[in-house]
A and B are shown apart, each in its own frame.
Chain A
Amino acid sequence: MTIYGVGILAACFIIGQLTGELLGRLLNINANVGGVGFAMLALIISGEWLKKKKLLSAPSLEGIQFWNAMYIPIIVAMSSIQNVRAAFSTGYVAILAGIIPTVAVVFLVPYISRLSKKQ
């Protein structure tokens, strides 16, 4: 059933976010620390386990895939509620922070790839 997939996703979300909140308290940072990352790990691990045990039926999977597919639309909506006017008044930070690190990192690709061929 589709709701099973949504339920698995929601359970991983809650486990991850709770871990992030608790880690934040432990580290004395008043913030959620990597909750989304932990939730993703939980989904990868539980997803693989469920697939191996054949407990994840196609309709269940759809419940997760729907939200996977909604991520770009949600990111579009998220972009629409940001304080863009204020961001642009701060100037070219966004442009430079978008271009310079990317260009720098791209040039590493051949060197790192060569490492993997030596293995």
Chain B
Amino acid sequence: MEFFSTFFIKNGLIVAFVTVAAMIAIAYGLSKIFFKNKIPGNAIAIIFGLVLAYIGGEVAGGKNGIADVAVFSGFSLMGGGMLRDFAVVATALGASFDEIKKTGLVGILSLFLGVLLSFTIGAVIAALLGYHDAVSITTIGAGACTFIVGPITGAAIGASSDVIAISIASGVIKSVLVTIGTPLIAKHIGLNNPQSAMVFGGLIGTTSGVAAGLGATDPKLVPYGAMTATFYTGLGCLLCPSIFYYLMQFFYQN
């Protein structure tokens, strides 16, 4: 037994790779078989991750989810700040300045409005539900943007891990909601052309949810929505830990 645990700890990062690969494979299988891809595999995989973190917290009693269970300690490297930020930056390759110029100011307006409104409403909810420090309120507001903006903002301004977990959870809930809700509401909000798809992507932002939701509505709309959505996370990562956090400090102490 000790032989195995020593082996797994020694090769921690690789153990994390194979575990995550298995989680994603199962998630995609479940998505296909039980949900007919209406709930995206990505969203299910992230929920698996959160469940695993909960189990880790129960088993080990620490603050770092499954990474506190020794054989899974490699998760802290794979899911840690450095690789996370690195992979997020890599997603920017799919975005192009020239393309967003074609939607003109309206695309940019929808991006700013989407980030600002999601953040503000999320922050108000956090404040109403008993958070009174600028760091936590900013992080939860950022989590209402996407499940990437939340933890990156939280990490940048030094939020506690439980608040970061809330920001991820709300971002995941948003992604699931957008994925399931988009095909249902598309008709009512005129979501049937590239322009409205770009506005939709800009306002909503959660790339996985937008891509999956538009895919379920009309696959032709996916690149338009996903493209503006790609800017959303970057804009959120730019605004939330800077200007928004700065403004929040006028209302709340740390």
A residues adjacent to B (C-beta < 8 A): 9-10, 12-13, 16-17, 20, 23-24, 27, 29-41, 43-45, 47-48, 61, 64-68, 70-110, 112-113, 115-117, 119
Q: Is the interface of A mostly helix, strand, loop or mixed?
A: helix
> B30: CB under 8 A from chain A?
no
A13-B85, A82-B164, A98-B174 given. 5 additional CB < 8 A pairs? A34-B238, A39-B89, A80-B67, A83-B63, A116-B195
B residues adjacent to A (C-beta < 8 A): 16-17, 20-21, 23-24, 42, 45-46, 48-54, 56-58, 63-67, 72, 75-76, 78-80, 83-98, 103-107, 109-110, 113-114, 117-122, 125-126, 129, 131, 140-141, 143-144, 147-148, 151-152, 156-158, 160-174, 177-178, 181, 185, 189-191, 195-196, 199-200, 203-204, 208, 234-239, 241-242, 245-246
Known: A31-B157, A83-B53. A36 touches B237 (CB 8 A): yes
Cross-interface CB contact of A83 among B91, B157, B165, B246, cutoff 8 Å: B165
Check B161 against A113 for contact (C-beta < 8 Å).
no
Cross-interface CB contact of A43 among B17, B90, B237, B238, cutoff 8 Å: B90
Check B16 against A77 for contact (C-beta < 8 Å).
yes
13 contacts between A and B (CB under 8 A): A36-B152, A37-B235, A39-B85, A73-B20, A73-B21, A73-B78, A76-B24, A82-B53, A82-B168, A85-B57, A97-B166, A98-B143, A110-B196
CB A9 to nearest CB in B, in angstroms, measures 6
Q: Is the interface of B mostly helix, strand, loop or mixed?
A: helix
The 3 closest A-B pairs by CB, nearest first: A98-B173, A79-B49, A37-B238
Check A81 against B20 for contact (C-beta < 8 Å).
no
